[in-house]
Amino acid sequence: MKSLTNPSLWIIWFVVLGVALMPVFGNLPALREELFVLLMLVTLASSVNIIMGYTGYVSFGHIVFFGIGGYTAFYLIQTLQFNFVLAALIGGGIASLIAFLIGMPVLRLRGAYFALATIGINEAFRTLVTNVDALGGAVGMLLQFSVYDAYGGAKSASQLAYYGIILVALLTITASFVIKKSKFGLSLMAIREDQDTAMVLGIDPARAKVMTYTISAFFPALAGALFFFKNGNIEPGPAFELHRSIEALVMVMLGGFGTVTGPIVGAFVYERLRGFLITDPIFSNAHLVISGLLLLIIVLFVTAGVVGWLRQRIPTLRRFLE
Amino acid sequence: MNFEVLIASSIDGLTLGFVFGLMAMGLTLIFGVMKVINLGHGPFIVMGMFAVLVLSQNLGINPYLALPIVIVLGLVTGVVTYFVAVHRVINAPELTTLLATFSVNMMLIGALTIIFSTSPRGLSLELPAFRAGTITVLGTRVVAVLIALLVTGALYAFLYRTHIGKSIRAVANNRSAAELMGINSTWALALSFGIGTVLAMVSGALLATLFGFTVLSGGGLETKSFVIVVLGGLGNPTGALLGGIVIGLLESITTIFMPVSYVPVFEFVVFILILLFRPNGLLGAR
């Protein structure tokens, strides 16, 4: 845990906290809603990056853990009157447990087969939840308004959820940083570069990969729990939305694959860009076309992403910009 | 249980299965030749649907006679897509090609939404139905199967009987060896991407004659193609056709035993299990 005292991490904390606390001190509810989504995307992108950036396993259906966490927490809050913090933690635990169980067989698959399997897992969960009446089936569930009374009304519950998501985002970033700086992280990157060589060096790839997958499932589940608690309703479509999962991959690529700051920068740039394109009268219809074009340009020409590109160009940045 | 219901739904599933098989063949051909999972497959299917819609409604061409135009359009779209989005990253890791084809997906869906909006569409097509007792087979289904078989036959004749087809198979087998034999692998790859796109668009055109559709229909059909492709073995066109028939039959027959909404759950669980235990497909070697 020596990496916790690393100044690079403090810089990230400082910037993220500085931005995240703006609406709290400035009392700007609209900005708070925007930043809630942004911090959620930072969480999603960073956690995808933990499995994808470090081990090279492209988890296309990572949103499945967002949905699992959301549904578990929502069910506990609604029917068993759990506190939302406890419910979110249980949701995270269950998502990690599921990741652990499915990770063992699924992570044996390599490359495209793994990517396809994660899509299949997400779709299987989505269609399954659609059929479970206890979880509201295709219509989903609605939170009774009285649930918020325990937190001093809907307004203050939404404020609490915001503090929650700040914490979750910071936690994810810290985990991503600590893993990258640790010996464990090095073994993951060895697996990414060449799994067979890593094995010869005495790394147990199966164990390392399952551990990483389990860790990376925890954070999106927390984000899902907070998001749907704040929204007050949950449906299978938005909870297991494959498109959002792929968007998280796009953010990672945009910011920089395998870096700690990359997913944060990527989430910020992507979200700002989309916000601008949707609200702009000229581009509002073309936002998908423009985003797609941008993605293609990055994939074809700037493979390292924004952070990777900066690191390549300005050598002094390499010491601070992880 | 009613025997006639079983027969009727089997015929229903079988006819649909051929079209699904054709659809998945496009995906599996591209994977087989260049190891690229084409995430733009869904929008290509949708392009086929809207191509037929425009040709028949705005230009008054019979949907079936419009198919040759759809084929040419598909070939051009595929080859252009290959050179724009895939060629530069053909040797890069999977993630790169997945994202490159996904960017094509975003652009196409965006463009189609701007042109056609996302409201539901349908073709008005009247063909005589075939009746035997209580069993009715719609004429559109019969024609769809015949066309699917014709296209499959043509594809196999092309791949096995012509010089260009043989060079595509050589490139799929071993690209560097094929290049040493004087085959221009770039064009072979571009052409196979084009053919994969043609298959997607023709199957889309055929599906448009059977069901209503929207710009967003592609997503579900794309995931269905993944399931079929994995069932038949990634990169195996014959497997894809059989996989399509299996899924078509499964979808129609299982509805007799279980609620319709459980069928996709069943499908995706089978999909994951096959990936885990028989990654080369049901027919492939272990």
Q: What is the pLDDT of residues B198-249, one digit of tens each?
A: 999 999 999 999 999 999 999 889 999 999 998 888 888 889 999 999 999 9
How much is the pLDDT for B132? 76
For an interface test with A, the pick among B82, B91, B95 (most A C-beta atoms closer than 10 Å) comes out as: B95
Residue B136 has pLDDT above 70, yes or no: yes
Min Cα distance A282 → chain B (Å) is 12
| Average pLDDT of the residues in B181-197 | 94
Is residue B284 less than 8 Å (CB to CB) from chain A?
A: no
User: Which residues in chain A land under pLDDT 50?
Assistant: none
Distance CA B106, CA A225 (A): 28
Is residue B261 less than 8 Å (CB to CB) from chain A?
A: yes
Amino acid at A19: V
Lowest-pLDDT range, A270-274, B112-116, B122-126?
B122-126
In this prediction, residue B282 has a pLDDT band, given cuts at 50, 70 and 90, of confident
Mean pLDDT of all residues belonging to chain B: 90
Contact B230 A115 (CB under 8 A): no
Distance CA B46, CA B118 (A): 12
Residue of A nearest to B224 (CA): A120
Q: In what helix (H) or strand (E) does residue B130 lie, and over which residues does it extend?
A: strand B130-132
In angstroms, the Cα distances linking B67 to B127, B165, B212 are 17, 22, 18
Is residue B14 less than 8 Å (CB to CB) from chain A?
A: no
For an interface test with A, the pick among B102, B226, B273, B277 (most A C-beta atoms closer than 10 Å) comes out as: B102
Amino acid at A312: Q
For an interface test with A, the pick among B34, B81, B88, B99 (most A C-beta atoms closer than 10 Å) comes out as: B99
How much is the pLDDT for B284? 64
Distance CA B65, CA B56 (A): 9
More confident residue, B124 or B172: B172
Of B32, B60, B34, B43, nearest to B124 (Cα)? B60
Is residue A113 less than 8 Å (CB to CB) from chain B?
A: yes
Four-point Cα dihedral B166, B172, B173, B174, nearest 10: 110
In this prediction, residue B285 has a pLDDT band, given cuts at 50, 70 and 90, of low
Minimal Cβ distance to A109: which of B93, B269, B279: B279
Min Cα distance B275 → chain A (Å) is 7
Q: What's this model's pTM, rounded to 2 decimal places?
A: 0.89
How much is the pLDDT for B1? 58
pLDDT digits (tens, 9 = 90+) for A49-74: 999 999 988 888 899 999 999 999 99
Which chain B residues are closer than 8 Å to A286 by Cβ?
Answer: 110, 114
Four-point Cα dihedral B68, B70, B76, B77, nearest 10: -160
Which chain B residues are closer than 8 Å to A303 by Cβ?
Answer: 92, 96
Distance CA B280, CA B25 (A): 15
Contact A299 B99 (CB under 8 A): yes
For an interface test with B, the pick among A104, A118, A123, A249 (most B C-beta atoms closer than 10 Å) comes out as: A123
- The token duo for B103 is 């960017």
Question: Residue B137 burial by CB count (10 A; 0-12/13-18/19+): exposed, middle or buried?
Answer: middle
Which chain A residues are closer than 8 Å to B262 by Cβ?
Answer: 127, 131
Distance CA A172, CA B255 (A): 44
Minimal Cβ distance to B110: which of A257, A288, A303: A288
How much is the pLDDT for B286? 47
| Average pLDDT of the residues in B66-90 | 95
How much is the pLDDT for A143? 87
